[in-house]
Structure 1
Amino acid sequence: MASTHAAEVLVASNRGPVSYQVDEEGSLHARRGGGGLVSGLSAIGPEAGAVWVCAALGDADREAARRYGDGRRLPAEDTGGQRVRMLDIAPDVFADAYNGIANSVLWFVHHMLYQTPLEPVFDAEFRRQWASYEAYNRAFAQALAEEAAEGAAVVVQDYHLTLVPGMLRDLRPDLRIGHFSHTPWAPADYFRMLPDDVAEQVLRGMLGADRLGFLTERWARAFAGCCETLPGGVGDTEIGVHGLGADADFLRERSQRADVSERMAALREEIGAAPDGGPRRAIVRVDRTELSKNIVRGLLAYRRLLEDRPEWRERVVHVAFAYPSRQDLEVYRTYTARVRELAEEINAEYGTPGWKPVLLHVEDDFARSLAAYRIADVALVNPIRDGMNLVAKEVPVVSDAGCALVLSREAGAFAELGEDAVAVNPYDVVGTARALHEALSMPGAERAERTKRLAAAATALPPSQWFLDQLRRLERLNG
């Protein structure tokens, strides 16, 4: 397949660096996003001629993709100067691929979320949705093949696009292809839950890459373990680990702005003072209401703390930001409702006229999240399973006075931060309550010293360097 644009560096991801909204007059308005990939592409400079291929996620995106269709890129004024090609994939195909397979099957497998007596059920509906996942991946592979110059470097992102490397290899064997997984990778015994042909298709799709990247050694080993039954195993594919870090410069600058200071004042007023007039302690969590984040058990552990350690009553507040996620899936709506109910139960059981034990916020507000990071005495990060968990890395970077980190051993970040965190088994509610007491009781000097070490570890590989390291290692292959 001939290249039409000849880009030397390409990135492919489900979500791109820009999204669109339609105003009342029907005009399109672009909104640019951030994150590690945006930082990484900015770091390589405009002379690289990088192109980002992404999917249209909603009706406004699709209108933009159609308006700038036929292989054309989005206007530079919409994308901050980046070259972006947005794919107009049929809404039903996208829904099947994104919700039906990526988020309801692959995400569940890698995070080990299934209630196995009842699920999964790989029936005819699954096979129909799998065909859409194949079509969705094929659309990306074809667009990348059209955009890439001879020998270009292509970095494909995440579980949405596991088939792209193999498909792209068939179309353009000259390319250097990488894939990076932002999630955990399931151990072989759990991964084999997928139908045999589908499991092999995913693995062979990934192995179409020259190089595969993972967030931790644990996830890399799990992938290699899944490949052991394949003839040839991982073959010539190189496997590497790149532990994405927090963007310290951005976080520190952004957390000092006026809107964050305003929200800090509002949070402190909500938290209030202890009966002796001193400040109350704040246990902070900031998460999407994603099943793997384990918010319900976190609330149960906080309730157990108040039950077992009455000395903390009226002296601590749990500031819980639980931002709705994937509310088009029933299981997520049910989970979000349970989070709300449990917070209300704790407040009804333990609250007093001057003390609300749980402050639950569900409206996404980044400035308020940063404000909570700054004032937190304890950060609770207790996922069942997480590829990395950047919240665990961000809190120490912006904490004003030092913050004790209660961290699940099942978070990818634990490999880097575990030594200075208070470790928890995410399923053990009583153990997590004990960890919260230990963190709340930690002397201020020790807390501050641990926070310094945590911040240093958390920022060891900032987003721009994380991307550049992958790109350089990929470009050296077959070079």
Structure 2
Amino acid sequence: MTLATKEPTAHKLRLLTVSNRGPKEFHRDEKGDVTAVPGQGGLSTALSVAASLYPATWLSSPLTAIDREIADGTIAPACADGASHFVSTGPRAYELYYGCFANEVLWFLQHGMAWPEELTAEKRREAWTEGYAAVNSAFAAKIVEELDTGAYRAVMFHDYHFYWAPLLVRRQRPDVFMQHFVHIPWPEAGEWDRLEPDIVVSICEGLLANDSLVFQTPASVRTFLATCERFLTDAEVDLDSGTVVHGGRRTRVWANGISVDPAELSEAAASQEFSRYRFMLRGEPHQRAIVRVDRLDPTKNVLAGFQAYAYLLEQHPELHEKVYFLSLLVPTKSDIEIYRRHQDEARALAESINQRFGNRHWKPIQLYFEHNRVQALAAMSLYDVLLVNPVADGMNLVAKEGPMLNSHDGVLVLSRTAGAHTELGCGTISIDPHDVAGTTAALYEALMMPPAERRDRAARIRDKVRSHDLRDWFRTLLSDIEAHTPITDAGEPSQLAETSAA
């Protein structure tokens, strides 16, 4: 349900938002002045929209050289952006926290994928103790410091980087209201048997220190509750109400899928830069475009998508020179070996398909390997078929952005394991991401679909996206906070013990 628009409340209390990547990154321009640019990724976009709806301060890791200068005091925060505060940690601790535990241990486990062979039990333990727990402790200390200023109504955590921090904050500030939104999928309870049991217990206890724990889909809510039943012997789990009582506190666990901002997409589509990229990327008048836009991450299943396309060209030679695959891949986490190997494999496979099927006049796969958001949006406006085939995904915003931008009544081919399928499945061709032959058949079905059916499916998806857009997503989170932190006449949140205690 779409909520009515609210203006930010008149009181001065802010939200304290915690995420590894903030909504802005800081650089120096050609004149040497500090400038802020939007952070990369869907989370940064979401946080920027949130800022327009409610006053907030962000705690995040410093990711650029200028970020680090701000963090260590070389540049005064007021010279950059008073709403962005950084938490510095040592390079080794950060690498173990981010590169190893967050983006190898948790990322692959929560997406149901095998770990790299070199990720031994000893390495996982080291990454948890000396990396993840250490960085979460540093953030918790900074959160407590900020809370003690009296400027904040609640703390809002984002994603898988901070599963442990809420418990550390709760131990020191028991009355603060904390909400945690997890952007990635939560796997079946048995998947967590791969990880050392005491670490799984710590993760669950950390998340249950929040008053409100929010996932992308009802499926992730169910699997988290099942995980608590499996690993926390003293937890009282109520599957019907979606609550867990543990350690004398009740945590509400619920779903609120993130979305896109149609107004932001429309503004981008009206720009000259968008038009220029659209002109550059378009095919010949007789050609149909299959498009994918993804971070080049193993969970996005890029290799299987290329293989399905190769089978399509093999099985249907009549499509040669009549279809092209426009693939815009964003490099990600390139400092982690398994991601670098995957990027090399994707490039090599695309080149081999081009060599096998292409000719002087036709390049079957047009590969772009860069971070260029406007170019990616322009590509999505051109698709006849949009392929979104992740092994698993918390939501996948490309599946929502594409239909809002597309002008061809394009068909969305979407993995059932993407969170977006929960909302958009009524208008998609649904696939099993592991079934390459099935993906090939879906691509062909989409290319051959009659125009009337294409229009109908595209319209259904757009209606779904409009019914719950990015602003609705954030207002729903904000309504949850406001309902549990009523403002007193003195302009302060009332005590929360009665709403949080068992």
Kindly report which structure 2 residues correspond to 1:45-444, keeping only aligned pairs within 5 A, or say none: 46=55, 50-67=56-73, 74-75=77-78, 78-79=80-81, 83-114=83-114, 118=117, 120-123=119-122, 126-127=125-126, 129-148=128-147, 149=150, 152-229=153-230, 230=232, 231-233=234-236, 234-235=244-245, 236-268=250-282, 271-272=283-284, 278-444=285-451
Q: Which moved further from structure 2: 368-377 or 205-214?
A: 368-377
Letter in 2 for 1:251: L
For 1:147 and 1:25, the matched residues in 2 are separated by 33
Letter in 1 for 2:45: G
Answer whether contact 1:153 1:471 (CA < 8 A) is retained: no
Task: Quote the offset at 1:100 in angstroms.
Answer: 1.5
Q: How much does 1:127 deviate?
A: 2.2
Give, as a single letter, the amino acid of the residue that structure 1 aligns with 2:426.
E
Structure 2 distance, partners of 1:160, 1:280, is: 43
Are 1:35 and 1:463, in contact at CA under 8 Å, matched by a contact in 2?
A: no
Q: Give aligned pairs, total.
A: 456
Distance 1:124 1:260, change over 3 A: closer
Q: Given the superposition, is the C-alpha separation of residues 197 and 125 from structure 1 closer, same or farther in structure 2, using an over 3 Å criterion?
A: closer
Q: Residue 235 of structure 2 aligns to which amino acid in structure 1?
A: G
Q: After superposition, what is the alpha-carbon deviation per residue over 1:425-472, rounded to whole angstroms, capped at 9, x for unaligned?
A: 101111100000000011222212211110121233222221221122
Counterpart CA distance in 1 for 2:328 and 2:152 is: 45
2:38 aligned partner: 32
Q: Distance in 2 between matches of 1:161 and 1:309?
A: 48
Change (3 A) 1:322 1:131: same
Hey, what's the Cα distance between the residues in 2 that align with 1:432 and 1:300? Answer: 9
Give the secondary structure class of the aligned counterpart of 1:35.
helix
* Aligned-partner Cα distance in 2 for 1:367–1:151: 35
The alpha carbon displacement at 1:387 in A equals 0.4
Deviations 1:56-112 (A, max 9, x none): 12433111111278xx8x32x634xx6221112222211111112111111111011
Deviation for aligned residue 1:120: 4.5
Percent of residue pairs bearing the same amino acid type:
36
Moved more, 453-462 or 200-209: 453-462
Amino acid at match of 2:252: E
User: Structure 2 stretches of 5 or more lacking a match?
Assistant: 1-11, 237-243, 485-495
- Residue range with higher mean Cα deviation, 363-372 or 217-226: 363-372
Runs (4+) of structure 1 moved beyond 6 Å? 23-26
1:378-414 deviation digits (Å, cap 9, x = unpaired) = 0000000000000000000011121100000110000
Partner of 1:471: 478
Give the partner amino acid of 1:158: D
**Which moves more between the two structures, 118-127 or 7-16?**
118-127
Inter-CA distance 411–124: structure 2 relative to 1 (3 Å threshold): closer
Report the equivalent of 2:15.
Answer: 9
The alpha carbon displacement at 1:22 in A equals 4.7
Q: CA deviation at 1:246?
A: 1.4
1:275 is aligned to: none
For the 8 Å contact 1:106–1:159, the answer to whether it is kept is: yes
Question: Matched residue of 2:125: which SS?
Answer: helix
Q: Report if aligned partners of 1:248, 1:459 keep a CA contact under 8 Å in 2.
A: yes
Does the residue aligned with 1:30 lie in a helix, a strand or coil? strand
* Structure 2 Cα separation of the partners of residues 7 and 170 of structure 1: 22
User: How far is 1:150 from its partner?
Assistant: 8.1
Q: AA paired with 1:78?
A: A
Aligned-residue CA RMSD (Å): 2.0
Aligned twin of 1:448 = 455
**Distance in 1 separating the partners of 2:22 and 2:216:** 21
Residues in 2 aligned to 1:96 and 1:119: alpha-carbon distance in whole angstroms: 14
The more displaced of 468-477 and 375-384 is 468-477
Shift of 1:119: 6.6
TM-score when normalising by structure 1: 0.91
Which amino acid in the other structure matches residue 93 of structure 1?
A
Secondary structure of 1:190's match?
helix
Amino acid at match of 2:474: F
Question: Match of 1:237, SS?
Answer: strand
Shift of 1:115: 5.2
Whichever residue aligns with residue 232 of structure 1, its letter is: A
Which amino acid in the other structure matches residue 113 of structure 2?
L
Mapped contact 1:114–1:120 kept (Cα < 8 A): no
Whether the 8 Å contact between 2:104 and 2:115 is mirrored in structure 1 is no
